[in-house]
Amino acid sequence: MARAEGAVAAPASEPAAHAASVECRNVEKWFGELNVLADVDFSIPAGSFVSVLGPSGCGKTTLMRAIGGLTGIDAGEILVGGRRVDGPPREAAIVFQQFGLMPWKTIYDNVAFGLSVRGFGKAELEERVRHYIDLVHLTGFEQSFPYQVSGGMQQRAGLARALAVEPQLLLMDEPFASVDAMTREVLHDELLGIWERDRRTVVFITHSIDEAIVLSDQIFVMSRSPATVVEQIPVDIARPRRERTVRGLPQFGELREHCWDLLERGGAEEAARS
């Protein structure tokens, strides 16, 4: 049934069977003498889109790398899909800020990469790669190399590569930070469309309050080092969403103010201006 965009609070949707929950229990992380994460404690239900907002250098990437099993933790535990993380969980795929594309491979081969290492047969691999390339509107650019397409297109290719393995958990570290504002809005709407169709769990790191509100079910605000989650803010805005519509809603302004206050209290005003 169609609902007007942004008209009513989003209903709690069915937890997706193909999505993994994430739990951080009293997570602590040190780099030598530097205590980066202290007592980070939260649960993300399967199929939920959570943004993590916080000042530069507070530990967002470290937290994401820990959830993705790319870095160890010093205390506490992290569970993905109910299993303790002690290496990259097979449920997870990561989209990095700098696209993470292999420059010597075509767009097609970059998107195919995760599937070939997972041993997909030729026919299924081809079908999936074409499907995800089409989903991010890159059909026609399969044989281009990353340097031959724009930053926004590289970002879409990075997204297609992560989506192609159909991960139960998508970890995204400021994926849209290096594209211009208009491209970012287009990518936001595309991500919303893809995500709303096929709800997987997403942990989305960002510096941008606006981006966090537009995309998320919840926003976790982190404090400065040692970083911890100071507040978990629900974003009760109906889906399907589109950026321009969300920006026009009164809740958008209220949530924006609230996030600003929290970040300012943490002395992070510069972080929120992007």
Ligand X SMILES: Nc1ncnc2c1ncn2[C@@H]1O[C@H](COP(=O)(O)OP(=O)(O)OP(=O)(O)O)[C@@H](O)[C@H]1O
Contact positions vs ligand X (CB under 6 A): 31, 36, 54, 56-62
Partner in contact with 31, chosen from ligand X, Mg ion, none, beta carbon below 5 to 8 Å by kind: ligand X
Q: State in angstroms the smallest separation of the CB of 41 from Mg ion.
A: 20
> According to CB under 5 A, which residues from 55 to 84 bind Mg ion?
60-61
Position 168 contacts Mg ion (CB under 5 A): no
Cα–Cα distance between 161 and 146 in angstroms, integer? 13
**Which residue, 59 or 266, has its beta carbon nearer to ligand X?**
59
Phi and psi at residue 213, in whole multiples of 5°?
A: -65, -45
- Residue whose CB is less far from ligand X, 7 or 34: 34
Distance (Å, rounded) from C-alpha 85 to C-alpha 79?
6
Residue with tokens 């600003």: 260
Nearest distance, CB of residue 61 and Mg ion, angstroms? 3
How many CB atoms lie under 10 A from the CB of residue 14?
9
Of the pair 62, 208, the CB lying nearest ligand X is at: 62
Nearer to ligand X by Cβ, of 148 and 232: the residue is: 232
Q: How far is the CB of 32 from ligand X (least distance, A)?
A: 7
Q: How far is the CB of 34 from ligand X (least distance, A)?
A: 6
Q: Which is nearer to ligand X, 62 or 168 (CB)?
A: 62
Q: What is the strand order of the sheet 34-44 is part of?
A: 34-44, 22-31, 75-80, 83-84
The DSSP element (H or E) to which 67 belongs, if any, is helix 60-67
Cα gap 102→51, rounded to integer Å = 27
Instruction: Supply the minimum distance, in Å, between the C-beta of residue 162 and Mg ion.
Output: 17
d(CA 111, CA 114): 7
